[in-house]
Amino acid sequence: MPRSIVVGNGNALVAFDADYSVRDIFHPQVGLENHTAGNLCRTGFYLDGRFTWLNDPGWKLNLGYAQDTLVTDVTARHDGHGVTVHFTDYVDMARDWLFRNLEVRTDQTVGRVVVFFHYDWFIKESDLGCTTGYDPLHRALIAYKKDRYFLLGGTSASGDGIDSWANGKKGGDRAGTWLDAEDGELGRNLIEQGAVDSTIAFVLGEVGPRQPGRLTHWVCLGADYKGVTEFGQDLILKRGEATYRTRTLNYWTIWSGKSKGAIADNLGPHIHQLYRRSLLTIRTQCDNRGAFTAANDYDITKFARDTYSYVWPRDGALIATALNRAGHEDITREFFEFCQRVERWEGDYAYFQHKYTPDGLVGSSWHPRADQGGNPILAIQEDETGLVLWALWQHFEIHGHLDFAARLYSTLVLRSARFLAAHLDSATGLPKPSWDLWEERWGVHAFTIGAVWGGLDAARRFAALFGDGGERDSFHAAQERLREAADRHLYRPELGRFARRLMLDGSGGVEVDAELDSALYGLWRFGMYPPDDPRIVSTMEAVRDQLSNRGETGGIARYRNDYYFQVDGDIDRVPGNPWFICTLWLAQWYIATATRPKDLERARRIIDWVAAHALQGGLLSEQLDPHSGAPLSVSPLTWSHAELVLTVEDYVAKLESLRAAPPRRKAAARPAPVRRRSAKPR
């Protein structure tokens, strides 16, 4: 089930599914340890002998946030039970505490209402060796393992503290303590260890249409007992939950308020709201130490037995560029410093490996270190190295932070660029083979060529900035070789466009992969070719015409017959599932080639399409079902939100520039030529 609401503060990330059940609790780093392993954590209601869990049929939910914040505004209604619940939930902006505020109203007066919160513990992503027990000093449950502690507390009409609890075993023939709640009472087992879960209860007493029941439940996350008690719940009780709610609302409103008013003026308030929601969603997926994770929806483990909770330098570079364009410098500096720490250095050269864990270790990979003949190869996607340099120059152009650029110049910039320049094939001038951005094919890829050129161009500019003439000339020469090689080998007159991939035979021979791919946009996006180059135009028009989904959803596929989460095998009608990022790439090209304001209408329609296919809370998945429009794969995908931000920024900037441009002067009409009778030959 897609994650439909996310809240966090860069240390803690909590994700809710479409039923508004907690599914993921990451701490102390975003993406590093999921202490529920994506399992269902239930919220339940006992109403004078009737019981319902929030994920039961019959609930109608309106999922959303307080405007431009990471504080939720969610209403759940169950007509059958005559109950309405309003949630205001958030992670404090500075403290690693999850707050859940509930207001419960019933259509008829109910003498006893009890609210239950259940947690399925996989502390440090394992259910081995966990402990959960009641702490009478704080009237709370505390779950822990090693240096991970979670205090479950709260306050309600009956006073501070939980009213009841259950600690129990799970697994095998044991379903868990949540079953114990369905009669309205909990067993109060004082402690349990091993594979455990917990359920706590708050008794609201009599509730009616004019007498709502209210409670605040919190989860304090920390590294030890004192961190969740003396420096956790005790502070909440001393200062009051409202203090933390007010400051969190204010913080995120100000943080997201750096966006430009011109967005609402030119694209409408609904797009402005989605733009700001995208920035806030991106921020929840970015760890405070610079790890920009791809996604943290744990359900993907059912498909691949792995997560998207990694840092792909390519994704991170584009995410950082979106944040920079929106005016957020501090967190993007952390990303580039993260890149400097994790890059693999080999003498004067450095490059990025496939992906990294949020704490900077090399992540899992399916890229082999040998070819089919057993010969060693670099198991990398070379575009990632190029795009980090390209994004760093974008960062400098926007913020002009010279000292920061200088700190990274002799390490991240020079070593990466030297690698890119040296990693060109001597016979063809093309980059040596690597894996593509989709992580499926080995060869020389158009997207990689564009990204490498963009990285070399950034390094050339940095070298010129610092007066480093030798490095500047070296990088410029490599750029020229690369561009000439692309002209010679990558553009295919027989196709009338660029090819997505070339395979080198080792002696200067080239085999062409003629399959059309939306990632061909990388040839112009990073500056290698102008977007109105006729060869780029024919390529992007082919993407538009041949990769458009003709199912009900619309949108653009990655490439024909895309197997990943494939829904429909009729590739003439559905070349592949539509992806938000691929569809937005087409919008970006429309914007880049616009010469009049009305030329932007095609891009505007795509931006509106994205808004129409966002989840109710404003989150964007990776893919969509080509017919129903339902989200597929992970949600939210950070990259999807980044491309939306970049597209909106491009649109507004281009529209303003076109409006500011002087009107084209109409060419003066030439006088009609005087027709003269030709002389007859004598």
Domains and CATH numbers, the chain: 3-255 (2.70.98.10), 260-286+547-659 (no CATH), 343-545 (1.50.10.10)
Share of the chain above pLDDT 90, in %: 92
Low-confidence winner among 134-148, 494-508, 591-605 (lowest mean pLDDT) = 494-508
Per-chain mean pLDDT for the chain: 95
- List the one residue out of 416, 240, 250, 257 whose CA is nearest residue 328: 257
pLDDT digits (tens, 9 = 90+) for 200-245: 999 998 999 999 999 999 999 999 999 999 999 999 999 999 999 9
The confidence score (pLDDT) of residue 510 equals 86
- Residue 156 has which token pair? 């309600």
The confidence score (pLDDT) of residue 259 equals 66
- Residue 152 has which token pair? 């479950």
The confidence score (pLDDT) of residue 674 equals 41
Q: What span, in angstroms and rounded, lies between the C-alpha atoms of 185 and 44?
A: 12
| Average pLDDT value for residue range 411-433 | 96
Q: Is the pLDDT of residue 166 over 80?
A: yes
Higher-pLDDT residue of 171, 675: 171
| Average pLDDT value for residue range 372-388 | 95
Q: What span, in angstroms and rounded, lies between the C-alpha atoms of 581 and 617?
A: 19
CB 632 within 8 A of CB 565: yes
**What are the Cα distances from residue 465, in Å, to 397, 454, 457, 532?**
11, 16, 12, 29
Share of the chain above pLDDT 70, in %: 97
- Residue 549 has which token pair? 């989904």
Q: Is the pLDDT of residue 668 over 80?
A: no
pLDDT range class, residue 666, cuts 50, 70, 90: low
Strands (E), 568-669: 623-624, 631-632
| Average pLDDT value for residue range 77-101 | 98
pLDDT range class, residue 172, cuts 50, 70, 90: confident
The confidence score (pLDDT) of residue 680 equals 34
Q: Is the pLDDT of residue 545 over 90?
A: yes
The confidence score (pLDDT) of residue 16 equals 98
Low-confidence winner among 345-349, 436-440, 458-462, 607-611 (lowest mean pLDDT) = 345-349
Q: What span, in angstroms and rounded, lies between the C-alpha atoms of 595 and 20?
A: 46
The confidence score (pLDDT) of residue 664 equals 64
Q: Is the pLDDT of residue 670 over 60?
A: no
CB 119 within 8 A of CB 23: no
pLDDT range class, residue 675, cuts 50, 70, 90: very low
The confidence score (pLDDT) of residue 679 equals 35
The confidence score (pLDDT) of residue 168 equals 97
Q: Which residue has 């502690």 as its token pair?
A: 149
The confidence score (pLDDT) of residue 506 equals 74
Task: Quote helix, strand, coil % in the chain, to nearest 5.
Answer: 35, 25, 40
| Average pLDDT value for residue range 156-163 | 95
Task: List residues bridging with 165 in a β-sheet.
Answer: 200
- Residue 503 has which token pair? 């395979």
State the Cα angle at 284 between 305 and 199, rounded to 5°: 70
Other beta carbons within 10 angstroms of residue 429's beta carbon come to 18
Q: Which residue has 């995208």 as its token pair?
A: 278
pLDDT range class, residue 302, cuts 50, 70, 90: confident
Residue type, 394: Q
**593 alpha-carbon distance from chain centroid:** 27
Q: Is the pLDDT of residue 667 over 80?
A: no
State the Cα angle at 89 between 236 and 302, rounded to 5°: 120
Tell me phi and psi for residue 442, to 5 degrees.
-100, 135
